[in-house]
Amino acid sequence: MPDTEQAPTEMVTTAPTGETPAGEHAPDAAATMAELESTRKALKAANAEAADRRKKLEAYEQAEEQRKLAEMTEVEKLQAELKRERDARAAEQLDARKAALSHAVTLQAQTLNFHDPADALAFLPADIVVDGVDDALKELARARPYLIKGSATPDIDAGKRSTAKPNKAEQVRQAADMFGIQVYDD
């Protein structure tokens, strides 16, 4: 195994942050501007070279595909086209199935009074079919009743529910008892 040698490193000291170095290490404005311009030119040249290489690569890939198509027999070309068409049709069928399932779940979830039909869809198994949505949503409603809207929340303020008006004499007597006042009847 060969030994790897490390190059000696030079310690460079810099001025603390916020201070400008003085003496021979002080930056010259003209030198800084020249360095900035040379860096910009180098960056521009590198970007141009990268763009040129990208164009050449795209042209090469296109030529390679053309060459492969030219080498294919007529039967192979038709088979490749058939495969692309089948893949496209399968993708369209999958999208149509998902849309039909989503619609069926939304419709049935609204019928069963779910808070949010999207929640119902999220909790259903991925392999469900449109015909099984009704039973699956009913089972989901039994398993997770919090997803279903209940009757209106009862008002627990008893004072609001009372329909009878309190008797004036009874109110006076209660107030007198509460404050320890003796009340005489008229």
In the numeric block, which tokens belong to residue 182?
A: 């003796």
CA-to-CA distance for 15 and 6, rounded, in angstroms? 27
CA terminus-to-terminus distance, the chain: 119
Q: What pTM was estimated for this model as a whole?
A: 0.40
Banded pLDDT at 55 (limits 50, 70, 90):
very high
Banded pLDDT at 76 (limits 50, 70, 90):
confident
In the numeric block, which tokens belong to residue 181?
A: 């006042």
CA-to-CA distance for 106 and 73, rounded, in angstroms? 50
Count of other CB atoms within 10 angstroms of residue 184: 4
Banded pLDDT at 1 (limits 50, 70, 90):
very low
Q: What share of the chain is helix, strand, coil (3-state, %, to 5)?
A: 65, 0, 30
Reduce the secondary structure of 33-95 to three states and give it as a string.
Answer: HHHHHHHHHHHHHHHHHHHHHHHHHHHHHHHHHHHHHHHCCHHHHHHHHHHHHHHHHHHHHHH
- The per-residue pLDDT for 21 is 59
DSSP class of residue 166 equals: P
**What is the per-residue pLDDT across 95-147, written as a single tens digit (0 to 9) for each?**
999 899 899 999 999 988 888 888 888 888 888 888 888 899 999 889 888 88
Mean of all residue pLDDT scores within the chain: 82
Burial of 148 (0-12, 13-18, 19+ CB in 10 A): middle
In the numeric block, which tokens belong to residue 33?
A: 């501007």
CA-to-CA distance for 57 and 66, rounded, in angstroms? 14
Domain boundaries, given as residue ranges, for the chain: 92-147
